[in-house]
Amino acid sequence: MTSHHQLAGKHALVTGASSGLGWQFALTLARAGAKVSLAARSVDKLESLAKEIQAFDGRALPVQMDVTEIESINSGVAASETELGPIDILVNNSGVSAQCPSEKVSEEDFDFVMDTNAKGAFFVAQAVGRSMIKRGEGGKIINIASVAANRVLKQNIAYCMSKAAVKHMTKALADEWGRYKIRVNCINPGYIVTGLNRDYWETDSGKRLISKLPGRRVGDPSELDGALLLLAGSGSDFMNGSILEVDDGLTVSGF
Q: Which domains does the chain have, with CATH numbers?
A: 3-241 (3.40.50.720)
In order, the DSSP letters of 222-253 are: GGGHHHHHHHHSGGGTT--S-EEEESTTTTTS
Q: Alpha-carbon distance 188 to 109, whole Å?
A: 23
pLDDT level of residue 5 (50, 70, 90 thresholds): confident
Please determine, for residue 51, whether its predicted confidence score (pLDDT) is greater than 90: yes
What pTM was computed for the model?
0.96
Q: For residue 4, name the pLDDT band (cuts at 50, 70, 90).
A: low
**Using H for helix, E for strand and C for coil, what is the string for 150-216?**
CCCCCCCHHHHHHHHHHHHHHHHHHHHHHHHCEEEEEEEECCECCCCCCCHHHCHHHHHHHHHCCCC
What would the mean pLDDT of 44-71 be, rounded to a whole number? 97
Q: Are residues 114 and 36 in contact, defined by beta-carbon separation less than 8 angstroms?
A: no
Residue 183 has phi, psi (to 5 degrees) of -95, 120
Measured between alpha carbons, how far is 168 from 150 in angstroms, rounded to an integer?
A: 11
pLDDT exceeds 90 at position 2: no
Rg (CA), the chain: 17
pLDDT value for 178: 98
Taking the C-alpha atoms of residue 11 and residue 212, their distance in angstroms, rounded to an integer, is 40
Helix, strand, coil percentages for the chain (3-state, nearest 5):
50, 15, 35
pLDDT higher than threshold 80 for residue 92: yes
Q: What is the mean pLDDT of the chain?
A: 96
What are the pLDDT digits (tens) for 127-182?
999 999 999 999 999 999 999 999 999 999 999 999 999 999 999 999 999 999 99
- Predicted confidence (pLDDT) per residue in 17-36, tens digit: 999 999 999 999 999 999 99
Alpha-carbon distance of 114 to 112, in angstroms, equals: 6
Q: Is the pLDDT of residue 195 over 90?
A: no
Confidence band, pLDDT 50/70/90 cuts, at residue 196 = confident
3-state SS assignment for residue 53: helix
Lowest mean pLDDT among 46-50, 71-75, 195-199, 216-220: 195-199
| Contact residues for 155 (Cβ-Cβ < 8 A; gap 6+) | 99, 100, 101, 102
Asked if the model's pLDDT at residue 119 lies above 90, the reply is: yes
Torsions phi, psi for 161 (to 5 deg) = -60, -45
* Of 40, 39, 28, 30, residue with least CA distance to 10: 30
Residues contacting residue 39 through CB under 8 Å, at least 6 positions apart: 13, 14, 15, 16, 17, 46, 63, 64, 65, 76, 80, 94
Catalytic residue among 159, 180, 191, 200: 159
**Three-class secondary structure of residue 89 per DSSP:** strand
159 is catalytic: yes
Measured CA to CA, the distance from residue 19 to residue 45 in angstroms comes to 8
Tell me the C-alpha distance between 188 and 166, whole Å: 10
